[in-house]
């Protein structure tokens, strides 16, 4: 597979359920509210987030409503991450900041409850998203961004095989007024065959 200007990028985004490795990504809706609210009160989740701070049930409910609207328009696709072992929603992730004319999008708005970090669930979710982005949407580039202070997130991205493309200096003003630098990572269609093998190997090692 190679980056190309010829293929037709799927746009607007269509609602879809992605499933594999005991993880399901389902378009988020209010049925996920109670389960997600069990985890979203953890302050540590939101320390470096720019898209929201969903520590209260009301804040989470309002954000889900906004996410559902974007899903209906096809401008974003916001998912609940479902642990199929427990059949419960344990976090969220999204396709957003889509630039269809350049076949580019971002994966973000991603968080997991503390009990599910450092498990296979994040790797599985990223595999499902990347597989859909490159093999169904026909994206050329998938980006991931994180706060330059968030070393844990950077190491997680690098472990999955993402390439650091650089530092976006003075990129985002945080809620507390701090002006953060943003680390920009990506996967490309050119990378995808090797990345797919890498992610499958990581997953099979974790769940075998």
Burial bucket for residue 90 (CB in 10 Å: 0-12, 13-18, 19+): buried
Task: Name the one residue in this structure whose structure tokens are 């003003």.
Answer: 173
**Whole-angstrom distance, CA of residue 158 vs CA of residue 13:** 27
Q: Mean pLDDT across the stretch 64-83?
A: 98
The three-state (H, E, C) secondary structure of the chain, written as one string: CCCCCCCCCCCCCCCCCEEECCEEEEECCHHHHHHHHCCCCCHHHHCCCCCCCCCCHHHHHHHHHHHHHHHHHCCCEEEEEEECCCCEEEEEEEEEEEEHHHCEEEEEEEEECHHHCCCHHHHHHHHHHHHHHHHCCCCCEEEEEEECCCHHHHHHHHHHCCEEEEEEEEEEECCCCCEEEEEEEEEECCCHHHHHHHHHHHHHHHHC
pLDDT at 154: 97
Distance of CA 82 to the CA centre of its chain: 13
Tens digit of each residue's pLDDT (9 = 90 or more) over 9-23:
999 999 999 999 999
Residue 207 confidence (pLDDT): 74
Q: CB of 1 within 8 A of CB of 190?
A: yes
Residue 79 has pLDDT above 90, yes or no: yes
| Cα–Cα distance measured from residue 26 to residue 131, given in angstroms and rounded to the nearest whole number | 15
Mean pLDDT to the nearest integer, 188-193: 97
Q: What confidence score (pLDDT) does residue 44 get?
A: 87
Picking from 114, 180, 110, the residue whose alpha carbon sits closest to that of residue 143 is 110
Over the chain, what is the mean pLDDT?
95
The pLDDT, as a whole number, for residue 206 is: 80
Confidence of residue 55 (pLDDT cuts 50, 70, 90): confident
Global pTM reads 0.96
Instruction: Report the relative pairing of strands 141-147 and 104-112 from DSSP bridges.
Output: parallel
User: Measured between alpha carbons, how far is residue 96 from residues 12, 35, 76, 173 in Å?
Assistant: 11, 23, 5, 19
Average pLDDT over residues 29-44: 94
Q: What percent of the chain has pLDDT over 70?
A: 100
Residue pair 27/72 in contact by the 8 Å Cβ criterion? no
Domains of the chain: 18-207 (3.40.630.30)
- On the question of pLDDT at 208 being above 70, the answer is no
């Amino acid at each position: 597979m190679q980056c190309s200007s010829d293929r037709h990028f799927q746009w607007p985004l269509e609602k879809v359920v992605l499933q594999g490795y005991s993880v399901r990504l389902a378009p988020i809706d209010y049925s996920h509210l109670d389960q997600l609210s069990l985890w979203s009160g953890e302050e540590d989740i939101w320390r470096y987030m720019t898209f929201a701070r969903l520590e209260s049930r009301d804040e989470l409910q309002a954000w889900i409503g906004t996410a559902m609207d974007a899903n209906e328009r096809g401008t974003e696709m916001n998912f609940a991450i479902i642990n199929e072992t427990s059949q419960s929603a344990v976090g969220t992730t999204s396709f957003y900041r889509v630039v269809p004319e350049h076949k580019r999008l971002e994966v973000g708005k991603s968080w997991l409850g503390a009990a599910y970090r450092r498990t296979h669930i994040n790797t599985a979710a990223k595999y499902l998203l990347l597989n859909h982005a490159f093999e169904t949407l026909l994206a050329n580039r998938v980006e991931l961004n994180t706060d330059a202070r968030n070393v844990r997130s950077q190491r997680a991205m690098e472990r999955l095989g993402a390439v650091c493309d650089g530092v976006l200096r003075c990129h985002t003003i945080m809620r507390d007024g701090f002006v953060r630098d943003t680390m920009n990572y990506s996967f490309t269609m050119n990378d995808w065959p090797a990345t797919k093998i890498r992610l499958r190997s990581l997953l099979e090692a974790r769940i075998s």
